[in-house]
Structure 1
Amino acid sequence: MNKSGNNSGAGAARFAPPFMIFIRHGQTDWNAEGRMQGQRDIPLNDTGRDQARRNGAALRDYLKEQDISLKDLSYFVSPLSRAVETMDLIFGELDLPTDLYQRDERLREITFGAWEGYTIPEIAARSPEQAAARKADKWGFVPPEGESYRMLSSRIDAWLATITHPAVVVSHGGVMRVLQGRLLPMPPQDIPTLDIPQDRFLVWKDGEIEWV
């Protein structure tokens, strides 16, 4: 378990409940190939399914250790199939019925628009000036027909402001970067580069972040 910092002065943290768990969906083939996935509906691969089961078992053990009841939590998931299947596999480990979780459109991944399906080297070869602009400002850059991290943060802030109950959330790497950046004080330009593993989950508790 790794803890990171305290949230004093964090921007959107004032909207967050005292306890939340964020889980990134398991690996897909496009993750493994380094393709910009965005809102394309790419399914989990076998590695991703194993990661989801691992996170479900670890979550079950963590909640038991913390004496937190499953019935005291709300459950939210992105509607993209890789997130829904991840939640289904986690629920299998928790022995919960899948009608307990809510799909929320605001938890969809950041969209890369016309760039989805391409790797960064492929984009650099096709659009070198735009690739350089993205590298210089990942927070504010808007891909063709896509969405910037700044735009995503507005969507996630709106969602976060509605969460008033301890929750478990399954979503995406970009979403979880923004969530972590909103909960902890950090420069916006650092948010798009945060590492978001698929074989651990993030716990927000008492103003601190911990990876389990």
Structure 2
Amino acid sequence: MIVLLRHGQTEFNVAGRLQGQLDSPLTEIGRAQALRMGDRLAQLAAGRRVAIHASPLTRAFDTARIVADRIPGSPEPLVDPGFKEISFGAWDGLTQPEIDARWPGLRAQVPRHHWFFHGPNGETLDMLMARIAPALARVAADPAELRVIVSHGIAGWVIRMAHTGQTPEDTILPGLQQDSLQHLTPDRRVILL
């Protein structure tokens, strides 16, 4: 069983800033979200061997550690750089109004839910898929019975695309709230737990 979750709320989330590959610490709400997800996963993990694969970015790895601490017998989370959030390039750390002020009209020129793949010096959808697909394959090959991926909002969206084989238009965005668990089923579906 593979379960996908997003890191808990961060200070940048509260401020409306794009985090990309910058670090922003978890808020108290974010830590509470991680505790709740850990408690829910502990129920799923009963009697199962567990592996937790996490993005190396602090907000995701801290969430993974909190989750692991709630699951009896869970090993230390494994770091996988393939699950890092998208790099927004020059947009990392900015708000959407700041982006619009510095690059007027740019976001309006691309389809909805695609603008974040157009940051100057940022990652494209193809670049993000190229690093996420092998990371997802590594998790699928892990012999643990419960495999948990702790990632990010846009990266989580692309993880779901890689798993289901759907296009960006067919994959619901954002779809990965900070306190939700999503089961990536063997038949290539995604089910909210």
TM-score normalised by length of structure 2: 0.87
Partner Cα separation in structure 2 for residue 45 and residue 186 of structure 1 = 33
- Is 1:94 paired with 2:45? no
- Is 1:21 paired with 2:3? yes
Q: Relative to structure 1, is the Cα distance of residues 33 and 135 closer, same or farther in structure 2, using a 3 angstrom cutoff?
A: farther
Letter of the 2:120 partner, please give it. Answer: P
Q: Which runs of structure 2 are paired with 1:85-164 in the superposition (5 Å)?
A: 85-96=62-73, 100-135=76-111, 138=114, 141-163=117-139, 164=141
Partner residue in 2 for 1:77: 54
Partner residue in 2 for 1:53: 35
Deviation, structure 1 residue 146: 0.7
Partner Cα separation in structure 2 for residue 60 and residue 161 of structure 1 = 24
Aligned length: 188
Deviation, structure 1 residue 154: 1.2
- Is 1:209 paired with 2:190? yes
Show CA shifts across 1:42-90 (max 9, x none). Answer: 11011100000000001111333xxx51x2x322111111111101111
The runs of 5 or more residues in structure 2 that have no matched partner are: none
Partner residue in 2 for 1:175: 155
Q: Relative to structure 1, is the Cα distance of residues 141 and 200 closer, same or farther in structure 2, using a 3 angstrom cutoff?
A: closer
Q: Relative to structure 1, is the Cα distance of residues 179 and 157 closer, same or farther in structure 2, using a 3 angstrom cutoff?
A: same
Indicate which of 22, 28, 52 corresponds to 1:40: 22
Deviation, structure 1 residue 179: 1.1
| Partner-residue secondary structure (3-state), 1:122 | helix
Partner Cα separation in structure 1 for residue 7 and residue 177 of structure 2 = 9
CA RMSD of aligned residues (A): 2.2
| Partner-residue secondary structure (3-state), 1:170 | strand
Partner Cα separation in structure 2 for residue 114 and residue 161 of structure 1 = 30
- Is 1:195 paired with 2:171? no
Q: How high is the sequence identity, in percent, across the aligned residues? A: 34
